[in-house]
Structure 1
Amino acid sequence: MDSHRQQSLIPSFLYSASSSAKNLSLSTLLHSEQPSLSPSSTAAMGRKSSGGFVIPAPSEPGRKIEMYSPAFYAACTAGGILSCGLTHMAVTPLDLVKCNMQIDPAKYKSISSGFGVLLKEQGARGFFRGWVPTLLGYSAQGACKFGFYEFFKKYYSDLAGPEYATKYKTLIYLAGSASAEVIADIALCPFEAVKVRVQTQPGFARGLSDGLPKFVKAEGALGLYKGIVPLWGRQIPYTMMKFASFETIVEMIYKYSIPKPKDQCSKSLQLGISFAGGYVAGVFCAIVSHPADNLVSFLNNAKGATVGEAVKKLGVLGLFTRGLPLRIVMIGTLTGAQWGIYDAFKVFVGLPTTGGAAPAAAAAPAAELAKV
């Protein structure tokens, strides 16, 4: 336990450098401090924790979360729900046009014409068709993605040890994010299957409540996971790029563009860097994961279709290019907003923003406290 934490557990006069203060008896100390104690602080003195009497030092912030504690992972999970669920729901119109461009390029020829077709056929309300499975599915995915990423990043850093965790930090980011995404996609897949069917087949269902029973009746419960392998093929490279490139970009921004250490930067500047790093990372993510995204849309729309049939239908060039410009805009904005929301939530609960330093396990012991 570091000295600051030790100081935070006892009154300031008990860790004074003055030798005379050290020789005071307990009764003298209590007597001298009594006039300045409020009823609430007196009650706080009588309450014991596992570490002894907890009385904040004058300089101690009121809010703190212990790094790598259950509360830390709970906060990261909650931040992931907010960042992924809200952002994906907000870009539902873009996602709707993108999916239809992938499924029916003859009808949805471009971004502008795609919006025009949707507006003409379904009205303004049609732009948010499928928002419920989008919100619930990506909230579940975000919870697992960010929560388990923080867990696996710490776990793999501990396995590697301080020296190798620093030397091979990018590999740790890649392994941690890939492990987290395997779990996250299991949570996402059923919602994604229903979402694509609702968005690309008008008249199939209004949303999740009637779409899910129809889907299960038509293809069985296991049909909800028909697209799990292509989903892993899309999301695992996407997430590996998202986290590893973000961590690298943010570290480079602090190293080469900011003239002072991260802990001396304002929170608004740190959050701005998180958004910028997330946006650039999102562009890379879109390019890497786009072929698999086309496969997911095709398989979830065409009953009984296989990956081979999808490749034959779309063509190799189509896999890489169909709907790509729109997806770059969508994923860049989405990823930047996700990192901004996630880090803003971490700051709100008393945690530092992500990135810009050595791997956490190598830089600090697990008992270190993160403070605003």
Structure 2
Amino acid sequence: MSEKQVTATLQFTPKDYSSFFLAGALCCTVTHGAMTPIDVVKTRIQIDPEFKGQSMLAGTRQVISKEGPKALLTGFGPTAVGYLVQGGAKFAGYEYWKKKGVEFAGGPENSVQYRTAIYLGAASVAEFFADILLTPLEATRIRLVSERNYATGLVSGFTRLAREGGVRELYAGFLPILCKQIPYAIGQFTVNEFCHEAAYRTMSEDTRNNMTASSRFGLNLGSGIIAGFAAAILSHPADTLLSQINKGHGPTGSMPHRLAVLAREAGFRGLFAGLGPRMVMTAGLVSGQFLLYGAIKEAMGAPPGLEIHKEDSSKS
């Protein structure tokens, strides 16, 4: 992308950011909501001794046989609402902080050499603020999934958790959720950016500017799947610890101490329990989110996101 093109994109308006927020909110709530059954089984494998060591298929069969098909939708309410607000804040925040990173680097031309730092910083800061909104709802979801008959749904589960534990209990998982979600966001956005850059560097400018809809779809889908695998691997140990914390496992004391003890008890293998199904789930989540995000933005007439890729000068 030329400096002139990037500079034009820097002029995002409040309306543009509201479009980014709405597109991010919708793409995340739709994809995370659709993945609820997989997440239910994954969480059970992580924290329920009865499911320890089981495959995704075996775990699904056990949930259905013991609790019925409806149990696979446990936690759908807090999942949908939590990722509605988190997704909007994350995607709009990433666009905002990436723009600020370009400005801080001294403009579009200088930002190319610092693009990795810009991607990492934008993803991390955007996710931090998004997680403030997500954490209480994620705590509610995990409690509903891990403790059968805890509550009937989002409102009753959230109310009970707030009443019995207060703000401290609602945010008990804030540190581990940061440890989970920030690496997740880094994998999601940074790897996606570099997958696009790698693809674009094999194309001439004319080819890139005249990509067919099917070619662009394939590029976005493939980049999203690879980014999803990276996000799952980077964030899975903290995801396991988050499930344990919200279940009430571990010693008393400060959160870093509890996390350290739980990590030692789980060991390397335990921290990566359930990684297979989570990689499948996350690849679907991330690729679906990027596809929906782009489609929703386009439908609303929002501008494309800022691109600061390093292009191959030999291509013309």
Change over 3 Å in CA distance of 1:332–1:250 after alignment to 2: same
1:199 partner SS: helix
Matched ranges for 1:355-370 at <5 A: 358=309
What is the aligned partner in structure 1 of residue 19 from structure 2? 75
Distance 1:245 1:294, change over 3 A: same
Deviation digits for residues 194-240 of structure 1 (CA, Å, limit 9, x no counterpart): 00000111111121111112112221222100000000001111101
Does residue 132 of structure 1 match 2:77?
yes
Q: Per the alignment, do residues 160 and 357 of structure 1 end up closer, same or farther by CA in structure 2, a change over 3 Å counting?
A: closer
**Distance across 2 between alignment mates of 1:276 and 1:352:** 22
Match for residue 51 of structure 2 among 83, 107, 118: 107
Q: How many residues align?
A: 294
Instruction: List aligned pairs for 1:102-181, cutoff 5 A.
Output: 102-108=46-52, 109-162=54-107, 163-181=109-127
**Would you say 1:310 and 2:269 are equivalent positions?**
no
Q: For the residues of structure 2 that align with 1:246 and 1:255, how far apart are their CA atoms?
A: 14
Q: Is the 8 Å Cα contact of residues 246 and 277 (structure 1) preserved in structure 2? A: yes
For normalisation by structure 2, the TM-score amounts to 0.87
Shift of 1:347: 1.8
* CA displacement at 1:252 relative to structure 2: 1.2
Contact 1:189 1:227 in 2 (8 A): yes
- Aligned partner of 2:28 in structure 1 is 84
Higher radius of gyration, 1 or 2: 1
SS at match of 1:265: coil
Aligned partners of 1:69, 1:358: CA distance in 2, in Å?
23
Deviation of 1:161 (Å):
1.3
Match of 2:247 in 1: 301
**Could you say what secondary structure the match of 2:201 adopts?**
helix
Indicate how the Cα distance of structure 1 residues 154 and 355 shifts in structure 2: closer, same or farther if over 3 A, else same: closer
Name the amino acid aligned to 1:184: A
Find the partner of 1:282 among 224, 228, 249: 228
**How far does residue 255 in structure 1 lie from its aligned partner after superposition?**
2.0
Aligned residues of 1:145 and 1:180 also touching (Cα < 8 A): yes
Give the whole-Å Cα distance in 1 for the aligned partners of 2:210 and 2:183: 34
Please state how far the C-alpha of 1:192 moved relative to its aligned partner. 0.2
Distance 1:105-1:287 versus aligned 2 partners, 3 A rule: farther
In structure 2, runs of 5+ residues without a counterpart are: 1-8, 252-257, 311-316
| Cα RMSD (Å) | 2.0
Question: Superposed, which structure 2 residues align to 1:176-191 within 5 Å?
Answer: 176-191=122-137
> 1:343 corresponds to which residue?
294
Q: 2:142 aligns with which of 189, 196, 213?
A: 196
Q: Is the 8 A contact 2:112 2:308 kept in 1?
A: no
**CA 1:354–1:253: 2 relative to 1, 3 Å:** farther
Aligned pairs for 1:228-243 (under 5 A) are 228-243=174-189
Q: 1:203 is paired with a residue of what secondary structure?
A: coil
> What amino acid is the match of 2:262?
A
Name the aligned partner's letter for residue 98 of structure 2.
Answer: K
Query: Where does the alignment leave 5 or more consecutive residues of structure 1 unmatched?
Result: 1-64, 360-372
The equivalent of 2:314 in structure 1 is none
| Distance in 2 separating the partners of 1:129 and 1:308 | 29
Query: Aligned partners of 1:74 and 1:268: how far apart in 2?
Result: 28
Cα pair 2:115 2:308 within 8 Å, conserved = no
Q: 1:262, 1:356 within 8 Å by CA — same for their partners in 2?
A: no
Aligned partners of 1:258 and 1:211: how far apart in 2?
54
SS for the counterpart of 2:51 is: coil
Letter of the structure 2 residue corresponding to residue 322 of structure 1: A
Partner SS for 2:151: coil
- Aligned-pair CA distance for 1:175: 0.6
- In terms of fraction of residues, the more helix-rich structure is 2
Give yes or no for the alignment of 1:247 onto 2:198. no
Identity of aligned residues (%): 34
CA shift, 1:261, in A, is 3.9
Q: How far 1:135 sits from its partner (Å)?
A: 0.2
Q: CA deviation at 1:145?
A: 0.3
Give the direction of change, closer, same or farther, for the CA distance of 1:352–1:266 in structure 2 (3 Å limit). farther
Deviation digits for residues 26-71 of structure 1 (CA, Å, limit 9, x no counterpart): xxxxxxxxxxxxxxxxxxxxxxxxxxxxxxxxxxxxxxx9951111
Q: Residue 202 of structure 2: SS of its match in structure 1? A: helix
